[in-house]
Structure 1
Amino acid sequence: MTTAQISAKRPSTKHPHDDAPDTTAEFEELAHLPDGPERDALCQEVVRAWIPMAERLARQFRNRGESLEDLEQVAALGLVKAVRRYDPERGTAFESYAVPTVVGEVKRHFRDHMWGLHVPRRVQELRNRVRTAHRELSHSLDGRGPDVREIAEHTGLTEQEVKLGMEALESYTPLSLDAELPGSEDGYALVDTLGDQEPGYDLIVDREALKPKLSKLPERERQILYMRFFCDMTQSRIAEQLGISQMHVSRLISRTCTALCDQVMAESRN
């Protein structure tokens, strides 16, 4: 059965929606059909008959960061769910059941897939109310944008809730780190304002961890390390000043540094 046949085989019935076909008989038939190819085919025909309404509902959400084609696909998915779940025996017109189902599917798509940051559902709802109020008030305030107090009075929200909703307006899509900063004339991007890892912090931590260990070293080992790493003396000069061989100095430095490293690492694991 085609969409044209659905529309032509009975007199047209007045519906709240101009694009709503009369599929009462088809739903009654679906209610008694068992699962199988025949039921699936009839479901597809009913879905095609109601597609214009689903597409109209999808267009209400355009210009919100998602392509109209994707919105229409999401709305069609909601329509399929509505057709398969609708029970005519409840006495409710199909469009009364389908409209909130389709709209809910589109809103869920925005909530679950379009937010660049995780925002609680309550905050998302505040954002929507603030955005709607801002648009409505802008038409009645001589072109100027409403302030927080005016939006709060219009929506019945507190000023704190309005401020939270306004902050969420900027959280829908995160700003790229490569985005050029306003007023920048030389391509200065947001990423250029971020700090980098400071190696000096690790150096401070290492020095503080070594201090108590260095104080417990024998005098000669402590003196050799001071001359080598703080006075920047060569091993041969240290050996000459202490009256020992360069090889002995090298072994003492290597042995002492290894022992200090082992002690610090052992403490960090405990």
Structure 2
Amino acid sequence: MAQYPTHPRLSFAERDAETTELFGRLATAGPEESEQIVEQIVHLYLDLCSTMAGRYEGRGIEHDDLVQVARLALVKAIRRYEPGHAPSFAAYAVPTISGELKRWFRDRGWVVRPPRRLQELRADVQSVRERLEQELGATPSDADLAEATGASVNDIREAASAATGFRPLSLDCGPSDDDRPGLSAFLACPDGEMEMADDRVCLAEALVELDDDERELLLLRYVEGLTQREIGEARGVSQMQVSRTLRRITVRLHDHLAESSAEEDISTAS
């Protein structure tokens, strides 16, 4: 965008007059001149974009992003505006910019997106809260908000909780006391089953290499907990035979797992 000289701040009347003159020229201008006129109009209302973006600060969206959305909405308003259909261009541009900012929050501002019902209720609660604060001279209760909006108290509380979806609290953030751990320390817990997940997958692949009789022998010994003597009696063989067979099977499983681990290390290194 071209840089136009900074002029003293215009009054509303002066800006409206200059805007009207620019839109009059825009109606008959060629493509190249039209772009220059649009840039001049944009330059006149940059402060309006900053002011409107500032109304939405502190709600989880970066200031620069809000300003960019407002300026894009300003350009959209200039493209759509028809002189004479509104008291002034500013009167047309303000709701256009406001609508784009609200849509940005609705569609892209959520990190955790709640249902549309809660999004709309949250917006209603915000406007009603401001009105009730003026009328009551105090912070309205959830019951006051529920009565004013026609929602239940539970809905009001749920909408308030949904507001954290713009900027949820990180599990890695620490409390004010640096000597204490972050939130994740209070939520996480050791999970032995999860830690052994890789081992179970590898072992399952190794067990496929055994026949049914060998797998049954492992089941009796290491799952059902039978002794070698009990297994021998059940199968009609000596305890020594059971011991030798188990040793042979475990060696095969060990070799298979060691080979798989070595192949994985080579694959990772390459």
Please indicate the TM-score interval, normalised by the length of the shorter structure.
Answer: 0.5 to 0.7
Amino acid in structure 2 at the alignment position of 1:168: A
In the alignment, which of 110, 119, 134 is matched to residue 115 of structure 1?
110
What residue in structure 1 maps to residue 146 of structure 2?
Answer: 152
Separation in 1, partners of 2:6, 2:169 = 49
Q: Which residue of 1 aligns with 2:19?
A: 23
Which residue identity does 1:147 align to in structure 2?
Answer: S
Answer yes or no: is the 8 Å Cα contact 1:23–1:46 preserved in 2: yes
Structure 2 counterpart of 1:188, one-letter code = P
Alignment partners' CA distance in 1, 2:215 and 2:120: 68
1:191 aligns with 2:184: yes
User: How far apart, in 2, do the equivalents of 1:114 and 1:75 lie?
Assistant: 14
Which AA in structure 1 matches 2:159? G
Deviation at 1:167, TM superposition (A): 2.3
Worse overlay, 242-251 or 128-137? 242-251
AA of the residue aligned to 2:183: L
Change (3 A) 1:19 1:179: farther
Q: Find the aligned partners of 1:37 and 1:188 in 2 and give their Cα distance.
A: 61
Q: 2:46 aligns with which of 29, 46, 51?
A: 51
Q: Verify: 1:242 aligned to 2:239, yes or no.
A: yes
RMSD: 4.4
Residues 29-50 of structure 1: CA deviation (Å, up to 9, x unaligned): 323334x221111110111112
Instruction: Kindly indicate whether the alpha-carbon contact (under 8 Å) linking 1:127 and 1:169 is maintained by their aligned counterparts in 2.
Output: yes
Instruction: Tell me whether 1:129 sits opposite 2:124 in the alignment.
Output: yes
CA distance in 2, matches of 1:13, 1:118: 39
Aligned pair count reads 229
Query: Which residue matches 2:267?
Result: none
Where does residue 169 of structure 2 map in the other structure? 175
| Distance in 1 of aligned mates of 2:132 and 2:86 | 39
- Deviation of 1:60 after TM superposition, in Å, equals 2.0
Asked if the contact 2:16/2:88 (under 8 Å) is kept, the reply is no
How far the C-alpha of 1:176 sits from its partner, in A, is 0.7
Contact in 2 for aligned 1:126/1:164 (Cα 8 Å):
no
Kindly indicate whether residue 120 of structure 2 is the aligned counterpart of residue 93 of structure 1: no
Q: CA deviation at 1:117?
A: 0.5
Offset of residue 149 of structure 1 = 1.6
Amino acid in the other structure paired with 1:242: Q
**Which whole-Å CA distance do the structure 1 matches of 2:157 and 2:68 have between them?**
34
Match of 1:260 in 2: none
User: Over residues 29-85 of structure 1, what are the superposed CA-to-partner deviations in whole Å (9 max), with x where a residue is unaligned?
Assistant: 323334x22111111011111222222222222332334443223211111111122
Superposition deviation, residue 164 in structure 1: 3.0
SS state of the match for residue 165, structure 2?
coil
- Aligned sequence identity (%): 29
Of residues 222-231 and 100-109 in structure 1, the stretch that sits farther from structure 2 once superposed is 222-231
Kept after mapping to 1: 8 A contact 2:146/2:152: yes
Q: Structure 1: which amino acid aligns with 2:23?
A: F
Give the TM-score normalised by structure 2: 0.64
Q: Deviations over 1:108-134 (max 9, x none)?
A: 222233221112333222112223333
1:167-201 CA-to-partner distances (Å, cap 9, x unmatched) read 2123321111123469x785132212234444189
Runs of at least 5 residues in structure 1 that lack an aligned partner in the other structure: 207-216, 234-239, 257-270
Counterpart in the other structure of 2:204: none
Structure 2 counterpart of 1:261:
none
The 2-side partners of 1:224 and 1:123 are apart by: 56
Match of 1:99, as an amino acid? V
Instruction: Tell me the TM-score normalised to structure 1 length.
Output: 0.64
Q: Distance in 1 between matches of 2:238 and 2:43?
A: 96
